[in-house]
Amino acid sequence: MLALRLYRQAKKLARLATKTRADTPREVQLEVTNRCNLDCDMCPRLILLKVPEVDMSWETFTQVLDRLDSPESITLTGWGEPLMHPRIFDFVAEIHRRFPSCDVSFTTNAHFFTEAFIEKILAARVSRVNVSLEELPWSDAEATTPPPSDFRTGNPMKGHENYVARDGHPTPRKVVDRLRRFLDRVNAERAAGRDFPEVRMQVVLFPEGTEIMLRLVDFAAEAGFHAVNLVRLDVRGRPDLRRPSWEDERRMIALARERAESLGVPLGSVNDHGALLKLASHSDRFCVRLDNFIYVDVSGNVAPCCLLRGHRVGNLVEQPLREIWHGERMKRFYGPGVHPACVGCDAFLNCYAEPAPLERRALPIASVSHG
């Protein structure tokens, strides 16, 4: 499996370096549901994206799978909580049945990690589980002190378990306990040499969030997460949201790295794809997302990126994959020039994680081949 991943990574590097696209996209994100048990303040799902709160049907799912071409990875996550889908584990099993070498993963708020769900997740043999976490409940010692009247500014741990988190996902103590049990199970199985999922903590960065972020890194090490991934807050279309300045965020990332290194937990940032991929992407002239990726919504509509859900370039229930991938609407996202919908997006730019700020380069992308 490791050899296969390295081979896929090498192919991606070669594609980016030579400014070519995959013949057909092999990294697929499936919006299995847009229903959610939470309503996080930061989440654009209902306010901005106005997603339909429905599940992908089995019929749509199988029709979409029929049209995929040897996918390398399938992420079962849309703008909702994937574990709310009543057939999520049937979906995973069907992907394994059809595409045995395909990595399957999902991102979750972990609120449903009961014993029964934990066993189902482990039995499903997914490659990776990303757990979104931005707050921790107070420790017992801290909880003996009543929360300050204005806990939003006074409490560095932010949401008390009876309150809604100011930033990010509200995470009651019960969920933290379930997470610990999940990680204990996963790590016991891994220690016994069984192939159990990598579990990553995914943290969105907020202003004045350094203390909680460091606390989360400590928790990741103590509870046995395998990696931490830091994510920029996306504020496009949400003037009510505030993100840290570039300088503050780089400082936060540096502090988090230092802490994670001292604890032996790998820590990455969505904006840091490593030196090779950065070089291959011509230092951000080329988005690392577009060469091999599609986002498929609950109805089979295809978009070039999860952040461009409304930019429909085709529908996999109605059209073959090649027709969509090589269609004019999709190719336009690959140049020449930056697509108007991508202007101002810094979600995956390497320069963001660099020590000195660089401006987004809206340079034309020349001589792109679509082979």
Ligand X SMILES: C[S@@+](CC[C@H](N)C(=O)[O-])C[C@H]1O[C@@H](n2cnc3c(N)ncnc32)[C@H](O)[C@@H]1O
Q: Could you list the residues that contact ligand X (CB under 6 A)?
A: 36, 42-44, 77, 79, 81, 107-109, 132, 202, 204, 231, 233-234
Rounded to 5 degrees, φ, ψ at 106 are -155, 165
Task: Tell me whether residue 210 or residue 283 sits nearer to ligand X (CB atom).
Answer: 210
What is the closest distance, in whole angstroms, from the C-beta atom of residue 109 to ligand SF4 in the complex? 4
Q: Is 170 helix (H, G, I), strand (E, B) or coil?
A: coil
Of 80 and 304, the one with the shorter C-beta distance to ligand X is: 80
Task: Pick what 108 binds: ligand SF4, ligand X, none; C-beta below 5 to 8 Å, kind-dependent.
Answer: ligand X
Give the residue from 37, 202, 194 showing the smallest Cα distance to 122: 194
Helix count and strand count (H, E) for the chain:
12, 10
Closer residue to ligand SF4 in complex, CB, 37/62: 37
| Spatial separation of the C-alpha atoms in residues 32 and 51, rounded to whole Å | 12
109 by Cβ neighbours in 10 Å (0-12 / 13-18 / 19+) ranks as buried
With CB under 5 to 8 Å by kind, the binding choice for 44 among ligand SF4, ligand X, none is ligand X
Q: Which does 39 bind (CB under 5 to 8 A by kind): ligand X, ligand SF4, none?
A: ligand SF4
Binding region for ligand SF4 (CB under 6 A)? 36, 38-40, 43, 45, 79-81, 109, 169
Minimum CB distance to ligand SF4, residue 254 (Å): 26
The residue among 171 and 292 lying less far from ligand SF4, judged by its C-beta, is 171
Least distance in angstroms from the C-beta of 243 to ligand X: 8
> Scanning the structure block, which residue is given the tokens 């499936």?
30
Q: Which residue, 16 or 42, has its beta carbon nearer to ligand X?
A: 42
In angstroms and rounded to an integer, the radius of gyration of the C-alpha atoms of the chain is 20
Q: Phi/psi at 295 (nearest 5 deg)?
A: -110, 125
Encoded amino acid at 77, one letter: T
